[in-house]
Chains A and B, each alone.
Chain A
């Protein structure tokens, strides 16, 4: 069982904003700022979207933002676009190894 819990699916209409949560099941995960988020389109490799909770790599749209409160991190996508439809994974660090959430399928209606 993953140490990070994500909702299996979320959906939204074009132009709307959605958030995906990532909840740690142990306090040591929540105590780190190693949370990162990855986008994965079908058949493609994951792509880094957010790192260290809220930092955006160069080239990633500013429609993507990250935050954390206690043991729960969140990825927010504003102004939803059709190309945002993908799987999203959070990741953090615990017990000397990385861990991933189970993934969330984002559907753009």
Chain B
């Protein structure tokens, strides 16, 4: 069955860096785009970033552009979100989510499978 497992969350000071991973199984990882969506404590969902199935297209929310970088290793079925210059407002549970359609060229929803999330806390 499809599984997405996030890891790498933790507590980091403002200005610090963290790398999140999303390990995929149960589907042909290299055929699907993946999104990151975050949820601040007690708040709603916020889209963060997208990487196309082949890694050749990436989109970022304005709130993280220039600070977050997405990459994927299709040989390891793993996605990475490198976060730097972290701010207190980046505190959230970060989910990776798979696009429904294979070879989807754009960053549009729907997201048919989500991981369980990993908590990032930015605090001094």
Taking beta carbons and an 8 Å cutoff, which residues of A are in contact with B?
A: 2, 32, 34, 36, 38, 40, 45-48, 51-52, 57, 89, 91-93, 96-103
Among the listed B35, B37, B109, which residue makes an inter-chain contact with A36, where contact means beta carbons less than 8 Å apart? Answer: B109
A45 — which chain B residues lie within 8 A by C-beta?
95, 114-117
What chain A residues lie within 8 Å of B107 (beta carbons)?
93, 96-98
Q: How many residue-residue contacts, CB under 8 A, span A and B?
A: 68
Tell me, yes or no, whether B44 is within 8 Å of chain A by CB: yes
A48 in contact with B110 (CB, 8 Å)? yes
Known A48-B112, A51-B110: A102·B59 in contact at CB below 8 Å? no
- Interface residue count on the B side (C-beta < 8 Å): 23
Q: Is the CB of A34 within 8 A of B59?
A: no
Contact residues in A for B61 (Cβ distance below 8 Å): 97
A100 to B95, CA, bound (A): 14
How far apart are the CA atoms of A83 and B113 in the complex, in Å?
20
Q: Are the C-beta atoms of B50 and A97 separated by less than 8 Å? A: yes
- Which residues of chain B are near A40, meaning CB under 8 Å? 45
Distance (Å) between the CB of B64 and the closest chain A CB?
Answer: 11
Docked complex Cα distance between A2 and B43 (Å):
12
CA distance A66 to B117 in the complex (A): 27
Chain B residues whose C-beta falls within 8 Å of the C-beta of A51 in the assembled complex: 100, 109-110, 112
Decide: B95 and A91 in contact? CB cutoff 8 A.
no
**A100–B44 CB distance below 8 A:** yes
Interface hits, B91-124 → A, CB 8 Å: 95, 97, 100, 106-112, 114-117
**Complex: how many Å from CA A84 to CA B44?**
18
Known: A46-B45, A100-B46, A103-B45. A52 touches B110 (CB 8 A): yes
Q: Is B27 part of the contact surface with A, judged by Cβ < 8 Å?
A: no
